[in-house]
Amino acid sequence: MYGSSLIASTEAAPIATKPVTMYDLIHQLIPADSPLHAMQTLGEVSDYVANTVLIELDETRINPVFGVGNPNADLLVIGEAPGADEDKQGEPFVGRAGQLLTQILGAIGFDRSDVYIANILKSRPPGNRDPLPEEVAAHIPILHKQIALIKPKVILCVGRTSGTSLLGIQAALKDLRSTFHDYHGIPVLVTYHPAALLRNSNWKRPTWEDVQLLRKKYDELTAQ
């Protein structure tokens, strides 16, 4: 009896563990040896991007295009890569496509200052070509860190490359859009890039349908 009491009294109390969140899971996607792990703010990550060469494009760019908006946004918008205007100004979506994105967001009740806007790549590819797989692999840990710090409740990917790069799947845009994908617990909607709408107005209607779904999901998640 005495022995059992002694055993009971010396047993270690269970160690309280912090629940793993969806943002923890995304943070774990960053390579273990990356200096991104130690960074605590978007400012630190932005400085890292500005002063680090990860791919050849980081040497040929005029400006890095890190991201802009509300650092605590519930909605994160992700594009593919900077264009010429973005490269010159160092800010995503500032050209004609960016103006259209602002209008689309406004049509469903968002000001640009309400959301955070970023790209898969932080440096402009020549001739606005699609990002190469090795370029995406080098830069996407930066986006993972942005997601982990911002903690959005929902993500909108504009353009096929944005959607496939984030989700890690290969599919046509028509098969990606109009439904939510689960990204480690975060709902992700993929729709047409605003630049595509400038080329083909027939895609405006399906884009409008997509962003209405986005607004509904956003309202459901932020009402909780």
Residue 17 pLDDT greater than 70, yes or no? no
pLDDT, tens digit, for every residue of 121-166? 999 999 989 999 999 999 999 999 999 999 999 999 999 999 999 9
Unique residue bearing structure tokens 């617990």: 185
3-state secondary structure of 10: helix
DSSP 41-69: SHHHHHHHHHT---STHHHH-SS----EE
Give the pLDDT score at 212.
97
> Which pair of tokens denotes residue 132?
């190469």
Q: What is the mean pLDDT of residues 209-217?
A: 98
- Asked if the model's pLDDT at residue 178 lies above 80, the reply is yes
The domains of the chain are located at 20-222
- The matching CATH number, chosen from 3.40.470.10, 3.90.780.10, 3.40.50.2000, 3.20.20.30, for 20-222 is 3.40.470.10
Q: What is the mean pLDDT of the segment spanning 92-106?
A: 95
Average pLDDT, the chain: 92
Whether the CB-CB separation of 193 and 159 falls below 8 Å is answered with yes
Taken in order 174, 80, 141, 25, is the CA torsion positive or negative? Answer: negative
The structure's pTM equals 0.90
Q: Is the pLDDT of residue 11 over 60?
A: no
